[in-house]
Amino acid sequence: MRSRYSAYVLGLEDYLLNTWHPNTRPKHLNLANDHTQWLRLEVKRFEPNDDQAIVEFIATYKVNGKAEKLHETSQFRKIAGRWFYIDGKFEE
């Protein structure tokens, strides 16, 4: 999770796509046109199993000078020793 957040901060679209599960991966993210300024990541909960994990986090960011928060509970799956992002549910 932290590496994916860092990839968003740095605009590393290839890394994000390569760590996204093939069944749910978008074709592209178009980060070059994204003007989000990522400020902070707070991991609230991490529940790992052998090949699955749930991560709840809050990411703070700014868009056009306005601060926002993204609160998500994400699902990850481990395949051949590597973790892949499956999907996430936005929390209130």
The fraction of the chain above a pLDDT of 90, given in percent, is 96
When divided into structural domains, the chain yields a total of 1
CATH number at residue 27: 3.10.450.50
Q: Quick check: pTM over 0.75?
A: yes
Which domain covers residue 33, as residue numbers?
Answer: 2-90
> What does the DSSP 8-state code read for residue 52?
E
**Apex 3 CA angle, 92 and 75, nearest 5:** 45
**Res. 46: pLDDT tops 90:** yes
